[in-house]
Structure 1
Amino acid sequence: MSGAPLRVVVAGTSFGRVYLDAVLSAPEHFRLAGVLVRGGDYSRALAERHGVPLFTSVAEVPEEVDIACVVVRSGATGGPGSRIARALLARGIHVLQEHPVHTAEITECVRAAREGGSAYAVNTLHPDLVPVRRFLAAAEVVRRRQGIRFVDAVCNSQVAYPLLDVIGRAVGALRPWSFDEPVRTAGQPFTSLNAVVGGVPVTLRVQNQVHPEDPDNHSYLMHRVALGCEGGVLTLADTHGPVLWNARMHAPRDATGRLVMSGERVDRLKEPSTTVLGPAGTSTFHDVFTGLWPDAVRRSLLRLCEDIARPERRAGSGQWALGVSRAWADLTARLGMPELIRPGEPESLPTAELTAAVEGLEP
């Protein structure tokens, strides 16, 4: 990408703060040109702090703005985000919209983008996180060398949308997909179901629970994904890493039929049972919010810039976004409405205490 930085307006200042950080972190590519919000005190103070105008309607956004990041709830979660996106696209302003977005809304936005001569993309964020990118890079090797035999995944229902995006990229396709009838057991926090994504067998466990007053918290985890092949199992231990490779245990037999458990001539016995792919350490949650997530948004914006520069890419981007949304709609239809829970703030368990317990063991 070359030339003058593109002028970007961010709509929404809740999760939109991550988008603001992303834009500000890449001044060679982007320039923050304003904030589009309803006009609360926090948003006004935020716009003043960054020295940019605050707009309270799409009509106030200047014609010279290049990109709008719409980080306002879409119709999928009861908000006006898709309506805002359509209005901006119709004016020729390129749009990156935060997920989840219903299929019908994406179709309408793609149509508005085509009529306005603009580019449109749905941002699922998670595939652009550095640890997930490591996982997907390793998955590509697995897929090319041996093919993927199965996927085992677990998530919270709040992040099932990006999970399907990650699985689709890992196995190389979304279609064909299907989801079996889920199994629900009283007292169990997770709902289990068998599925197929991209023709690959998938087992899913979903914590289909939400705190109605605090929906962004109270997940036991975000994502954990394992995919298996002839040689072993590749695992994304958490959305934010690390990535693990478990070589498949297989010992040959000697002339008497006994397993060979040692010997310099058996190369596969020299393989570590588990290898961390990439850095062994992981980020603090502070670093996730201020580093990993803005970096992922920046990558999404740069990919949108490629669609802006090369209009022939836009149809493919739209088709993938539609596929993810349709698969998500099928999954959520199977899962049904989430169980409403209202737990208190979870008690922290000090890592040092766990470390001390492990270090106290005899070798």
Structure 2
Amino acid sequence: MNTIKKYTSGKIRTVVIGSTFGQFYLEALSTLSEDFEIKALIASGSERSKKCAEAYGIPLLNNITEINPDEVDLACIILRSGVMGGKGTEFALYCMEKGIHVIQEHPIHHNDLATCLRAAKSNHVHFITGNLYVHLPAFKRFAEVAQHLFETKKVAYIDIALATQVSFPLVQMMIELLPNPRPLNIHHVLKDSGPFQVLTGEWGGLPLTLRAHNEVNPNDPDNHQHLLHTISLGCSGGTLSLTDTHGPVVWKAQLHIPHNELLRNVSAGNHLNEKSTMVLGPEFPPTYQEILQKQWPRAIGKDLLSIKSFITGEKKPEQRAHLELLCTRLWHDLTHALGSPTLRPDASYEQIEINKLIELANNIPAEPEEVSIS
């Protein structure tokens, strides 16, 4: 019988391993101070790590062996998994052998996930992967409206664009979005001279077109993506789009010209009286500062509260483990088809002056009912 490590009441005593993306976990934990106590940051000792430890008033440890298992309930491992060339799996297994529950940030290879789930079971602890993207407000809004379309209309196709660095969370998003996320059938992959590959096939029985920005700067792999996620669902009445991971969500009605009605005298209630494109929810997405400081930590907090519910016995983790295994299989199929990214060590960032773009756009005279950008 598998008996999970007994939880004693009180805050979940937590360590964070890795400070690059780990700083978002530190912020999430600090906002959930009634549920979690941050015991330490474990990192290599970089200047960023020192600043993180100082900012959150916690010890900075340089070695995972410095953890006292009797004083730690949960480890947040924000490192690449073993198959991805990192020490995430190694550290996860070490922590679970010491009786510490683990949440590990994506991506994680199917073999690593299976190994970690077996280790969790044998050591009577819990293991889950973290994915903040499915908890973001824009995606939740998109998924809610999409569910209505799936229930009431015939969805005709899926159109996706993404950077391959965020292909793992895309698969998790599609598992939550589609009525049936299996199978993923890939028919063709086209790689031309541009930065995008084009993949066609079917996902969950729906025709699929996917454009993937499959390039990486090896010196700065977390940056220089042309986009994160764009997802569109098309049906006979129009197209629902998540225009970016952080929104907005847009409904674009399909143009349908009536045959038996004069266009100069369109009757009330006709679809032609509706806006051709509508933003569903907030019209303008948040700034990146708000996204990084607030939305991401809040979304990470959802996963932290999930593993807390498993630790305390409030919820059972079996369904989540099943879905995570499905995710790793689909992710392998997708990334295997796209192949390794092209290396672009010369990729650089240039800030665009948004005020200049607004000025140029406003130089074009507005039509009588058109509102200029303010």
Does structure 2 conserve the Cα–Cα contact (< 8 Å) formed by 1:251 and 1:259? Answer: no
Alignment match, 2:277: 274
Alignment match, 1:61: 68
Secondary structure, aligned partner of 1:227: strand
**Cα distance, 1:344 vs. partner?**
4.6
Q: How does 1:248-267 map to 2 (within 5 A)?
A: 248-254=254-260, 262-267=265-270
> What do the CA deviations read for 1:91-110 (whole angstroms, capped 9, x no partner)?
33221111110001100111
Does structure 2 conserve the Cα–Cα contact (< 8 Å) formed by 1:235 and 1:244? Answer: yes
TM-score, normalization by structure 2: 0.89
Alignment match, 2:163: 156
Q: Does the alignment pair 1:19 with 2:25?
A: yes
Q: What value does the CA root-mean-square deviation take over the aligned residues?
A: 2.1
Alignment match, 1:188: 194
Q: Does the alignment pair 1:4 with 2:10?
A: yes
> What do the CA deviations read for 1:299-326 (whole angstroms, capped 9, x no partner)?
1211222333447631211111111111
> What do the CA deviations read for 1:318-353 (whole angstroms, capped 9, x no partner)?
111111111111111111111111235232221111
Secondary structure, aligned partner of 1:301: helix
Cα distance in 2, alignment partners of residues 81 and 149 from structure 1: 40
Cα distance in 2, alignment partners of residues 105 and 311 from structure 1: 27
- Structure 1 residues 262 and 150 mapped into 2: Cα distance closer, same or farther (>3 Å)? farther
- Structure 1 residues 214 and 232 mapped into 2: Cα distance closer, same or farther (>3 Å)? same
Cα distance in 2, alignment partners of residues 97 and 261 from structure 1: 60
**Cα distance, 1:182 vs. partner?**
0.6
Q: Does the alignment pair 1:137 with 2:140?
A: no
Q: Relative to structure 2, which stretch is displaced further, 3-12 or 329-338?
A: 3-12
Cα distance in 2, alignment partners of residues 119 and 100 from structure 1: 18
Secondary structure, aligned partner of 1:104: helix
Q: How does 1:166-315 map to 2 (within 5 A)?
A: 166-185=173-192, 187-254=193-260, 262-310=265-313, 313-315=316-318
Cα distance in 2, alignment partners of residues 49 and 159 from structure 1: 28
Alignment match, 1:71: 78
In structure 2, give the amino acid aligned to 1:86.
L
> What do the CA deviations read for 1:224-249 (whole angstroms, capped 9, x no partner)?
11111233211111111111111222
Cα distance in 1, alignment partners of residues 12 and 154 from structure 2: 41
Secondary structure, aligned partner of 1:240: coil
2:361 to 346, 358, 362: 358
In structure 1, give the amino acid aligned to 2:331.
W
Alignment match, 2:341: 338
Cα distance in 2, alignment partners of residues 305 and 144 from structure 1: 33
Does structure 1 conserve the Cα–Cα contact (< 8 Å) formed by 2:250 and 2:278? Answer: yes
**Cα distance, 1:29 vs. partner?**
2.0
Q: How does 1:32-43 map to 2 (within 5 A)?
A: 32-40=38-46, 42-43=48-49
- Structure 1 residues 136 and 317 mapped into 2: Cα distance closer, same or farther (>3 Å)? same
Does structure 1 conserve the Cα–Cα contact (< 8 Å) formed by 2:131 and 2:300? Answer: no
Identity of aligned residues (%): 34
In structure 2, give the amino acid aligned to 1:29.
D
In structure 2, give the amino acid aligned to 1:191.
Q
- Structure 1 residues 312 and 240 mapped into 2: Cα distance closer, same or farther (>3 Å)? closer
Secondary structure, aligned partner of 1:63: helix
Cα distance in 1, alignment partners of residues 109 and 211 from structure 2: 22
Secondary structure, aligned partner of 1:251: coil
In structure 2, give the amino acid aligned to 1:140.
Q
- Structure 1 residues 92 and 261 mapped into 2: Cα distance closer, same or farther (>3 Å)? farther
In structure 1, give the amino acid aligned to 2:183.
P
**Cα distance, 1:34 vs. partner?**
1.3
Cα distance in 2, alignment partners of residues 179 and 96 from structure 1: 31
Cα distance in 2, alignment partners of residues 123 and 5 from structure 1: 20
Q: How does 1:97-136 map to 2 (within 5 A)?
A: 97-136=104-143
TM-score, normalization by structure 1: 0.91
Secondary structure, aligned partner of 1:141: helix
Does structure 2 conserve the Cα–Cα contact (< 8 Å) formed by 1:10 and 1:68? Answer: yes
Alignment match, 2:6: none
